[in-house]
């Protein structure tokens, strides 16, 4: 198992470099530069700015410089936010997004798995109602859910602040807003696969053995969790790296906003910072998901060549 994990991590390193290399060149091929949005700059000023940030070098030279700085953990200055380094900005914003995303992930997992399990084991009305709720959760966009939650829980009931990121309770509404979609997907995925497993012959064997319904469901869930785990890799990365919509609605200083704004601003260094954070999360969670799948299912372990 440890050997498998090590192998995966070693293979992830070139993948990571391919991603950042591709992004490095792609953003520079897009028409427009980091200073085009400023008011009309004189050609001299623009040249001076480009020289100051090293943007007048040829692309290969810029790339080598970027790698050199990266090896020291320095992602360079942000072009948009003067006097702030990208490393410092990303660290500061990512902390907020991690807190928010972590809470959302916990909510999504708990609520999603619980609803899915109840819906799969129950039948008739309860099951149908839960299915309808999860479908609604998948369909409702965050920019609808967020304002509705604000209207009910802060404007009408006054339990929470409408927006901001100052007190501990400020995490509740945004994390619920962020979690709802994922919780609904997890519920649907888990319900469908658990129901499928419960209909299989081996679940009948478990009943014929004299097991309680709960025990039968628990044994079936080991196989039923696989689709959920596969989905969790990108879902967790998405939640933990922040959401543009949720951060905008609740005015939260997270990383999500930068994914959009840095691209619009051609803020090259900031784009690289965001992409790297997202790539690391995606790669790590995929490795974790594959390890979890192997632990859940001995057949998968065999295919992956995992030995315990």
Partner 1 sequence: MSMLSVENLKISFKSGGRVTEAVKGVSFHVDKGESVAIVGESGSGKSVTAMSLARLLPRDGSCEVSGRALFDSEDIFQMNPKELRALRGGKIAYVFQEPSTSLNPVFSVGEQIAEAVRLHRPEVKDVRACVVEALEEVGIRRAAERYSAYPHELSGGMQQRVMIAMALSCRPRLLVADEPTTALDVTIQKQIIDLLREILKNRGMSMILITHNFGIIRGLCSRVLVMFRGRIVESGPTEEILYNPKHPYTKALIACIPRLGRSGERLVSIDYEKIDREARELGYAY
Specify the residue, 171 or 223, whose C-beta has the smaller distance to partner 1. Answer: 223
Q: What does the alpha-carbon distance between residue 256 and residue 258 come to, in Å, rounded to a whole number?
A: 5
Q: How many residues comprise the chain?
A: 308
Specify the residue, 221 or 269, whose C-beta has the smaller distance to partner 1. Answer: 221
Q: What does the alpha-carbon distance between residue 43 and residue 41 come to, in Å, rounded to a whole number?
A: 6
Cα–Cα distances in angstroms (integers) from residue 61 to residues 5, 67, 197, in the given order = 35, 10, 56
Residues in 98-157 that interact with partner 1 by CB under 8 A? 123-124
Contacts of residue 18, defined as CB under 8 A and 6 or more positions apart, other chains included, come to none
CB 247 within 8 A of CB 163: no
Least distance to partner 1, CB of residue 5, Å: 20
Specify the residue, 60 or 210, whose C-beta has the smaller distance to partner 1. Answer: 210
Interface with partner 1 includes 297 (CB under 8 A)?
Answer: yes
Specify the residue, 127 or 154, whose C-beta has the smaller distance to partner 1. Answer: 127
Stretch in the footprint of partner 1 (CB under 8 A) among 70-78, 89-97, 201-209, 270-278:
201-209
Least distance to partner 1, CB of residue 230, Å: 15
Q: What does the alpha-carbon distance between residue 50 and residue 27 come to, in Å, rounded to a whole number?
A: 16
Specify the residue, 100 or 206, whose C-beta has the smaller distance to partner 1. Answer: 206
Least distance to partner 1, CB of residue 301, Å: 9
Interface with partner 1 includes 1 (CB under 8 A)?
Answer: no
Stretch in the footprint of partner 1 (CB under 8 A) among 71-79, 164-172, 218-226, 248-256:
218-226
Q: What does the alpha-carbon distance between residue 148 and residue 249 come to, in Å, rounded to a whole number?
A: 11
Number of residues that bind partner 1 (CB under 8 A): 22
Interface with partner 1 includes 291 (CB under 8 A)?
Answer: no
Here the tokens at position 138 are: 């998948």
DSSP 156: I
Q: What angle do CA 63, 68, 74 make, to 5 degrees?
A: 105
CB 127 within 8 A of CB 119: yes
Among 103, 206, 232, 283, binds partner 1 (CB under 8 A): 206
* Site of interaction with partner 1 (CB under 8 A): 123-124, 200-202, 204-212, 219-220, 222-223, 296-299
């Amino acid at each position: 198992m440890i050997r498998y994990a090590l192998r995966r991590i070693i293979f992830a390193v070139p993948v990571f470099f391919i991603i950042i290399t591709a992004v490095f060149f792609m953003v520079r091929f897009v028409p427009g530069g980091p200073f085009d949005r400023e008011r009309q700059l004189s050609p001299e000023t623009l040249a001076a700015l480009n020289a100051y940030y090293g943007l007048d070098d040829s692309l290969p030279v810029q790339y080598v410089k970027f790698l050199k700085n990266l090896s020291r953990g320095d992602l360079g200055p942000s072009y948009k936010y003067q006097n702030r380094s990208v490393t410092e900005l990303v660290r500061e914003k990512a902390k907020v997004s991690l807190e928010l995303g972590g809470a959302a992930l916990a909510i999504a997992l708990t609520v999603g798995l619980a609803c899915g399990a109840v819906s799969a084991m129950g039948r008739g009305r309860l099951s149908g109602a839960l299915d309808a709720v999860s479908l609604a959760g998948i369909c409702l966009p965050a920019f609808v859910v967020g304002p509705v939650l604000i209207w009910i829980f802060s404007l009408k009931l006054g339990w929470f602040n409408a927006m901001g990121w100052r007190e501990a309770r400020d995490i509740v509404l945004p994390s619920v807003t962020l979690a709802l979609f994922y919780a609904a997907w997890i519920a649907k995925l888990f319900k469908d696969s658990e129901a499928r497993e419960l209909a299989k012959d081996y679940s009948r064997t478990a009943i014929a053995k004299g097991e309680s319904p709960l025990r039968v469901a628990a044994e079936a869930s080991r196989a039923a969790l696989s689709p959920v785990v596969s989905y969790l890799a990108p879902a967790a990365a998405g939640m933990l790296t922040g959401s543009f919509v949720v951060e905008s609605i609740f005015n939260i200083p997270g990383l999500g906003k930068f994914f959009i704004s840095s691209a619009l601003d051609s803020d090259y260094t900031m784009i690289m910072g965001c992409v790297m954070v997202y790539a690391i999360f995606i790669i790590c969670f995929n490795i974790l998901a594959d390890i979890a799948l192997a632990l859940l299912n001995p057949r998968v372990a065999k295919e992956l060549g995992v030995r315990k």
